[in-house]
């Protein structure tokens, strides 16, 4: 027994030491001095000239990026194009940048997320958001941290100076796709979507790619113009087929594929091409050897020129999404009334509706609660959860008799989609009306949705006392005891009215 305990401690400390060692790694600037100036002053001068040369329309100048597609050649070649997209970062507020590139050197069937200390450039260090990197790595066996995949890769390194020039106090999550497995890339997109939705950060996505390689200027522009047309018109399947057949050339296609799946999730697929040039346009003397195409794209947060720094969380689901879920809940209850069993539902096309989410369904009758059942942990796709929780709220809430046929037209259905639980150390972290709260001590638990505080007007202390005593069956001050766990969550709520 003692031997096992000692072995356990040994393993624990080895893991801690390895974790600390990984996080102390700094990715040095491999291309400084060749692809761009090694001296800080010369690099700043180059960037300053490129940003001063940016020309955008009045409408483009006010766009707030949700995502960028940016080239990754030597900064003197592609940097002027890249600056067009990065010039818009002053319109927003970003503290975490998710960088996605495709490895030029490795195809290991994995996705490498850099989990060291920082990416270094002549302008200084950019810290890694290790919390997000670790969540990704621990969530999938094919999400790894392999330093060698990042070591000589240009697709992400060339983005760092532009971010440093435009932003302050930000972290990055550098991701390299060393795979062509679209299923794995879908899993990455789903994981990132969940993180973007549920983490309290202002995110920017950047996909890194160049376009056609080593054709004459005329042929390069023919090839790239067709690719640009497909992206502008959201012809994603046609783009994929063109890449497979060699009709479209994107060396970072798998980074774009992942980013596009994320854009679909958030309804942000309207891309605007801010600039397109070839290396022959930038340096005419190089054209005889064949040129490379570069483009800069922005996918805005919204279609207005507003410089709002944040978006309403309810915007994550479109009006059509919400109506689908409310209609589904009502159909589920009606079907159970008529057939005595839970309705089978065909999966919807929208990926957001198929993502695993925790959800509550609430029934109100003439302004009075008539049933409420839900899940605190995401166990199934959202559409399935709404289907099942609607039936449970109508027929399995022990506080109320089963819903009757003549009540169906009198109820108002409310759907609450929950973010993952986050444990808090002090109740001062709880914001009334914004946070729902889950309390747990031993086998006793209780939960209040955020709207409880709004409906009752309770302050934080009363809210917690009622939660402990009325919902969890605990002493009213149990939330102050060390062995009581308190968790918060946020809610996206909508109803039929």
CATH code, domain carrying 384: 3.30.700.20
Residue 186 and residue 80 share a domain? yes
Residue 440 and residue 296 share a domain? no
Residue 198 and residue 293 share a domain? yes
- H or E element in which residue 22 lies: helix 2-23
Residue 156 and residue 264 share a domain? yes
- 32 in any annotated domain: yes
For residue 74, is pLDDT > 60?
A: yes
Residue 329 and residue 187 share a domain? no
- H or E element in which residue 185 lies: helix 182-198
Average confidence (pLDDT) over 30-47: 95
CB-side exposure of 392: number of CA atoms within 13 Å?
Answer: 13
Range with the poorest average pLDDT among 3-12, 211-220, 426-435: 3-12
- 255 in any annotated domain: yes
> pLDDT band for position 15 (50/70/90)?
very low
Domain count, the chain: 3
For residue 302, is pLDDT > 70?
A: no
Q: Which of 300, 328, 362 represents a domain boundary (last residue)?
A: 300
The DSSP string of 101-130 is EE-SS---SEEEE--SSEEEETTEEEEB-H
Residues of the chain by 3-state class (helix, strand, coil), percent to 5: 45, 25, 30
Q: What is the reported pLDDT for 307?
A: 34
Q: Which of 262, 279, 300 represents a domain boundary (last residue)?
A: 300
Q: What is the CATH number of the domain that holds 215?
A: 3.40.830.10
What end-to-end distance do the CA atoms of the chain give, in Å?
A: 62
Q: What is the reported pLDDT for 308?
A: 35
Contact between 35 and 74 under an 8 Å Cβ cutoff? The reply is yes
Residue 227 and residue 210 share a domain? yes
Q: What is the reported pLDDT for 93?
A: 87
Q: Name the residue range of residue 274's domain.
A: 26-300
> pLDDT band for position 156 (50/70/90)?
very high
> pLDDT band for position 363 (50/70/90)?
very high
For residue 376, is pLDDT > 60?
A: yes
Q: In the block, which residue shows the tokens 């809610």?
A: 491
Q: What is the CATH number of the domain that holds 471?
A: 3.30.1490.150
473: how many CB neighbours lie within 10 A of its CB?
Answer: 12
Task: Report how far residue 396's alpha carbon sits from residue 65's, in angstroms, rounded to the nearest whole number.
Answer: 46
**pTM tops 0.75, yes or no:** no
In percent, the amount of the chain with pLDDT more than 70 equals 92
Residue 463 and residue 347 share a domain? no
- Partners of 143 in the β-ladder: 111
Among candidates 252, 188, 203, 168, which has minimal Cα distance to 97?
203
Residue 429 and residue 401 share a domain? no
Q: Which two tokens stand for residue 235?
A: 């012809």
Average confidence (pLDDT) over 40-60: 92
**Cα torsion angle, 421, 427, 430, 433, sign:** positive
Residue 93 and residue 156 share a domain? yes
R_g of the chain computed on alpha carbons = 26
> pLDDT band for position 197 (50/70/90)?
confident
Q: Which of 300, 330, 360 represents a domain boundary (last residue)?
A: 300
- 249 in any annotated domain: yes
Residue 426 and residue 412 share a domain? no
- 7 in any annotated domain: no
List pLDDT tens digits, range 452-476: 988 888 999 999 999 999 999 999 9
Q: Which two tokens stand for residue 371?
A: 């049933």
The DSSP string of 446-468 is EEE-HHHHHHH---HHHHHHHII
- 469 in any annotated domain: yes
Per DSSP, the three-state class of 488 is strand
For residue 478, is pLDDT > 60?
A: yes
For residue 111, is pLDDT > 60?
A: yes
Residue 117 and residue 231 share a domain? yes
Among candidates 266, 131, 128, which has minimal Cα distance to 189?
266
Residue 241 and residue 171 share a domain? yes
> pLDDT band for position 28 (50/70/90)?
very high
- 375 in any annotated domain: yes
Mean pLDDT of the chain: 89
- 17 in any annotated domain: no
Among candidates 443, 412, 437, 411, which has minimal Cα distance to 490?
437
In sequence order, which residues have a C-beta less than 8 Å from that of residue 8 and are 6 or more positions away? Answer: none
Task: Report how far residue 386's alpha carbon sits from residue 290's, in angstroms, rounded to the nearest whole number.
Answer: 56
Buried b (16+ CB within 10 A) or exposed e, 432-450: beebbbbbbbeeeebbbbb
- 13 in any annotated domain: no
Average confidence (pLDDT) over 124-147: 94
For residue 314, is pLDDT > 50?
A: no
Average confidence (pLDDT) over 248-255: 97
């Amino acid at each position: 027994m003692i031997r096992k305990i000692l072995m356990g401690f040994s393993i624990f400390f080895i893991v801690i030491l390895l974790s600390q060692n990984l996080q102390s790694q700094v990715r040095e600037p491999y291309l400084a001095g060749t692809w761009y100036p090694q001296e800080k002053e010369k690099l700043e001068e180059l960037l300053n000239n490129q940003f001063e040369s940016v020309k955008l329309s009045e409408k483009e100048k006010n766009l707030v990026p949700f995502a960028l597609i940016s080239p990754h050649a030597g900064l003197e070649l592609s940097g002027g194009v890249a600056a067009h997209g990065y010039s818009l970062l002053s319109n927003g507020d970003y503290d975490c940048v998710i960088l996605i590139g495709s490895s030029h050197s490795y195809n290991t069937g994995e996705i490498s997320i850099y989990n060291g200390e920082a990416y270094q450039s002549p302008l200084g260090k950019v810290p890694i958001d290790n919390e997000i990197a670790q969540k990704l790595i621990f969530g999938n066996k094919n999400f790894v941290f392999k330093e060698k995949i990042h070591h000589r890769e240009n697709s992400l390194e060339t983005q760092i100076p532009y971010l440093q020039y435009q932003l302050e106090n930000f972290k990055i999550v550098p991701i390299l796709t060393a795979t062509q497995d679209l299923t794995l890339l879908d899993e990455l997109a789903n994981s990132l979507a969940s993180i973007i939705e549920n983490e309290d950060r202002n995110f920017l996505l950047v996909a890194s790619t160049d376009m056609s390689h080593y054709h004459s200027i005329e042929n390069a522009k023919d090839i790239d113009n067709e690719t640009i047309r497909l992206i502008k018109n959201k012809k994603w399947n046609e783009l994929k087929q063109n890449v497979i057949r060699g009709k479209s050339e994107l060396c970072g296609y798998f980074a774009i594929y992942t980013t596009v799946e994320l854009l679909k999730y958030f309804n942000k697929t309207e891309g605007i091409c801010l600039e397109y040039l070839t290396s022959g346009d930038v340096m005419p003397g190089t054209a005889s050897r064949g040129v490379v195409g570069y483009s800069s794209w922005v996918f805005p947060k919204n279609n207005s020129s507003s410089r709002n720094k944040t978006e309403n969380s309810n915007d994550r689901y479109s009006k059509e999404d919400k109506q689908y879920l409310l209609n589904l809940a009502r159909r589920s209850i009606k079907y159970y009334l008529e057939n005595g069993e839970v309705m089978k539902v065909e999966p919807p096309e929208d990926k957001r509706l198929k993502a695993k989410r925790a959800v509550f369904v609430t029934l109100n009758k003439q302004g009075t609660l008539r049933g409420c059942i839900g899940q605190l942990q995401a166990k199934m796709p959202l559409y399935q959860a709404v289907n099942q929780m609607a039936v449970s709220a109508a027929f399995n809430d022990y506080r109320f008799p089963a819903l009757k046929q003549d009540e169906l037209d009198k109820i108002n259905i409310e759907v609450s989609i929950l973010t993952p639980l986050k444990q808090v150390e002090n109740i001062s972290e709880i914001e009334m009306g914004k946070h729902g709260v889950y309390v747990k001590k031993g086998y006793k638990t209780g939960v209040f949705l955020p709207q409880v505080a709004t409906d009752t007007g309770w302050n934080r202390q009363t809210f917690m006392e009622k939660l402990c005593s009325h919902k969890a069956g605990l002493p009213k001050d149990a939330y102050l005891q060390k062995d009581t766990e308190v968790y918060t969550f946020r809610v996206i709520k909508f109803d039929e009215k």
